[in-house]
């Protein structure tokens, strides 16, 4: 069963990977994690709402659809093993659509409604921490506590980045742009501010010395997180409503489907 679990997770990540490939993301790759599955990664300087929503849905939706088809054929032949596989296929992908950050569902809602509201986004992260922590303790799923740990780490990083942005504003440095729009002068000025603060890359930076470090790629990746580029709002109200309907259907329909087979497990 573990092999099927890993395969289903890989199928999910391949959906994200394919979507990013279609949209010409760079540095694409899939990281295999032993006994867990895989995680895709890629980057793109400018990503619109439509593109990000497409990438986020490209993981769970194909998995849910595949699980529903597998369920249909399994029921026709009353194949208990295939029904269990279909159940896992549907459940894992449906779980990923829940509105909890950093699951795909949480990121999707943030993309649709909250990409301009940092306070709400932060509240959403803390709500996710509370929900996952409660669920982990209530049902003694202790391994899930690693999710709140990473969320708390993320919240701390966001707080540090906000402080950096405030300093950049005080020095009249524009950080509201993408990496591709950043000039050399702006890069070095932001780099000095990053180096003067307690950041994961500050030990690599000597403010005022404009020479590339051997770990410059780590510095540039951190600066990319400091930049606050607003993706193009290319989704109409109708499109947003349609995506929300698809998102809700992808959660509700599998619940109805699994309810019909609950007594089989």
In the chain, pLDDT over 70 holds for what percent of residues?
Answer: 82
pLDDT digits (tens, 9 = 90+) for 95-148: 888 777 667 888 888 788 755 556 666 676 777 778 778 877 887 777 667 767
Q: Which pTM does this prediction carry?
A: 0.66
Q: What pLDDT is attached to residue 116?
A: 53
| CA 197 to each of CA 32, 143, 144, 201, 206: distance values in angstroms, whole numbers, following the listed order | 34, 34, 32, 9, 11
In three-state secondary structure terms, 1 is coil
User: What pLDDT is attached to residue 187?
Assistant: 94
17-65: pLDDT as tens digits:
899 889 888 777 666 555 445 556 666 767 888 898 999 999 999 999 9
Q: Are 177 and 231 in contact, with CB atoms under 8 Å apart?
A: no
Domain spans in the chain, listed from the N-terminal domain onward: 1-99+236-265, 117-170, 174-229
Quote the CA–CA distance of 174 and 186 in Å, as a whole number.
Answer: 8
């Amino acid at each position: 069963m573990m092999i099927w679990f890993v395969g289903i997770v890989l199928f999910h990540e391949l959906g994200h990977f394919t979507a990013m490939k279609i949209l010409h993301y760079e540095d694409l790759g899939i990281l295999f994690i032993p006994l867990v599955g895989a995680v895709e990664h890629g980057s793109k300087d400018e990503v619109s709402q439509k593109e990000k929503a497409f990438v986020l849905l490209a993981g769970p939706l194909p998995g849910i659809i595949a699980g529903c088809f597998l369920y249909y054929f399994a029921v026709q032949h009353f194949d208990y093993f295939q029904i269990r596989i279909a159940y896992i296929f549907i459940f894992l992908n449906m779980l990923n659509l829940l509105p909890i950050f950093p699951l795909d569902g949480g990121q999707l809602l943030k993309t649709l409604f909250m990409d301009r509201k940092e306070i709400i986004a932060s509240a959403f992260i803390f709500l996710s921490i509370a929900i996952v922590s409660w669920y982990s303790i209530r049902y003694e799923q202790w391994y899930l506590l690693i999710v709140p740990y990473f969320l708390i780490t993320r919240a701390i990083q966001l707080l540090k980045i906000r402080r950096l942005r405030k300093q950049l504003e005080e020095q009249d440095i524009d950080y509201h742009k993408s990496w591709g729009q950043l000039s050399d002068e702006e890069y070095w000025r932001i780099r000095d501010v990053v180096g003067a603060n307690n950041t994961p890359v500050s030990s690599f930076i000597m403010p005022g010395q404009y020479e590339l470090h051997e770990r410059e790629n780590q510095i540039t990746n951190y600066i990319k997180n400091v930049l606050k580029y607003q993706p193009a709002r290319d989704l109409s109200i109708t499109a947003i409503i349609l995506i929300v309907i698809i998102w809700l259907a992808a959660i509700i329909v599998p619940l109805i489907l699994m309810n019909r087979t609950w007594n089989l497990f």
